[in-house]
Amino acid sequence: MAGKALFNGTWIDASEPVFRVTDRSVLYGDGVFETIRSFGTEGIRFWEAHYFRLMASMRLLRMRIPEAWSPEFLLNHLIELASTNSVNNSDVRIRFSVWRKGEPGYGTRSSEVDWSLTANSLEGNHYTELNDYSAVVFKEFTKAPGALAGLKGPHSFLYTQSERFALEMGASESLVLTPDNRLLEGGKSNLFLVFGSELVTAPLSAGCIRGIVREQVLKQAAALGLSVREETLSPFELQRANEVWLTNAIVGLQSISHYKQTRFANEHANGMRSVLEDASRESSWL
């Protein structure tokens, strides 16, 4: 990471080492994180949704939320961090990481936390669609449902392995499956399939990440004349779909251009991307 970072509220150089080999973040990855996009001079997008997802994740993991952590208190840190790390008012990718303090061992009684904010500058000042974006299905490991499945944490073996597989296969992203071999999500995104005027995505109960942009797509689908069905589908359904989308807080919505020999349209994707831009501006925090 370039530039400045915050560690437990203190400004440091982003390259400065701060963890010990006995820290729980190193030993167990005992934490959660949020990835947030700041849009140039337009502020932090969907901050309220990110904030409440982080608070819910910390409560689930029995971490104590510091008393000072109001939305406004943390937002001021995010805005300052984005401004410090932006290049010519470019967009900035922010990672808000939280780890449990405490002695080594699974059974620590600690609920106190360490935290950090890191950032790097992005190209451009809006969501950008890549024209050539391919996908492969990752079958070596699958993701089981459960309360912990929806968390974003540093213990990300499944996603690091799925993305390594995509790189080895020369694909842009891999698609993760459920234990019964149904489509769940992308290696770094939520997954949507469009069949005519129907939009299909896996339900949260199946184990997919509770994506911030996923929620927005579900809210805005009706505005584009799309009905929504939450269901896991067979990978064979990919070749029957008209469009396939991947969504996350950094890219917004990215269309998959092709899977194997099947190529996909992006007409509804372009419309949804425009709607997401408008919705994100309305939710900007400055």
Residues 254, 154 share a domain: yes
Element (H, E) at 254: strand 252-255
Q: What is the residue whose two structure tokens read 């901050």? A: 47
- Looking at residue 126, its pLDDT comes to 78
Residue 60 maps to a domain: yes
How far apart CA 165 and CA 238 sit, in angstroms, is 19
Domain boundary among 121, 147, 172: 121
Residue 226 maps to a domain: yes
Q: What DSSP string describes 223-248?
A: GGT-EEEE----GGGGGG-SEEEEEE
Of residues 110 and 185, more confidently modeled? 185
- Taking residues 225-250, what's their average pLDDT? 97
- Taking residues 80-93, what's their average pLDDT? 89
Of residues 16 and 42, more confidently modeled? 16
State the first-to-last Cα distance of the chain, in angstroms, to the nearest integer: 23
Which of 73-82, 178-187, 271-280 shows the lowest mean pLDDT across its residues? 271-280
pLDDT digits (tens, 9 = 90+) for 43-75: 888 999 999 999 999 999 999 999 999 999 999
Q: What is the residue whose two structure tokens read 């700041």? A: 38
- Taking residues 257-275, what's their average pLDDT? 94
SS3 state of residue 61: coil
Element (H, E) at 35: strand 31-38
CATH label of the domain that carries residue 92: 3.30.470.10
Residue 57 maps to a domain: yes
Structural domain total, the chain: 2
Residues 276, 144 share a domain: yes
How far apart CA 141 and CA 160 sit, in angstroms, is 11
- Under the banding of pLDDT at 50, 70 and 90, the label for residue 5 is very high
Residue 285 clears pLDDT 70, i.e. is over it: no
Mean pLDDT of the chain: 92
- Looking at residue 284, its pLDDT comes to 59
Other C-beta atoms closer than 10 Å to the C-beta of 103 total 10
Say if CB 118 and CB 95 are below 8 A apart. yes
Residues 276, 149 share a domain: yes
Residues 98, 19 share a domain: yes
**Which domain range does residue 267 map to?**
135-282
- Looking at residue 3, its pLDDT comes to 87
Domain boundary among 121, 151, 176: 121
Q: What is the residue whose two structure tokens read 């997919």? A: 208
Residue 123 clears pLDDT 90, i.e. is over it: no
Residue 128 maps to a domain: no
Residue 62 maps to a domain: yes
pLDDT digits (tens, 9 = 90+) for 164-180: 999 999 999 999 999 99
Residues 278, 141 share a domain: yes
Residues 140, 74 share a domain: no
CATH label of the domain that carries residue 227: 3.20.10.10
The distance from CA 35 to its chain's CA centroid, rounded to whole angstroms, is: 6
pLDDT digits (tens, 9 = 90+) for 126-148: 788 888 999 999 999 999 999 99
Residues 198, 99 share a domain: no
How far apart CA 20 and CA 54 sit, in angstroms, is 24
- Looking at residue 47, its pLDDT comes to 92
- Under the banding of pLDDT at 50, 70 and 90, the label for residue 1 is very low
Residues 79, 151 share a domain: no
Residues 160, 83 share a domain: no
Domain boundary among 93, 121, 149: 121
Residues 193, 105 share a domain: no
* pTM, two decimal places: 0.93
Residue 282 clears pLDDT 80, i.e. is over it: no
Residue 127 maps to a domain: no
Residue 78 maps to a domain: yes
How far apart CA 47 and CA 31 sit, in angstroms, is 20
- Looking at residue 283, its pLDDT comes to 60
Residue 143 maps to a domain: yes
Residues 172, 109 share a domain: no
Say if CB 209 and CB 190 are below 8 A apart. yes
- Under the banding of pLDDT at 50, 70 and 90, the label for residue 40 is confident
Residues 100, 226 share a domain: no
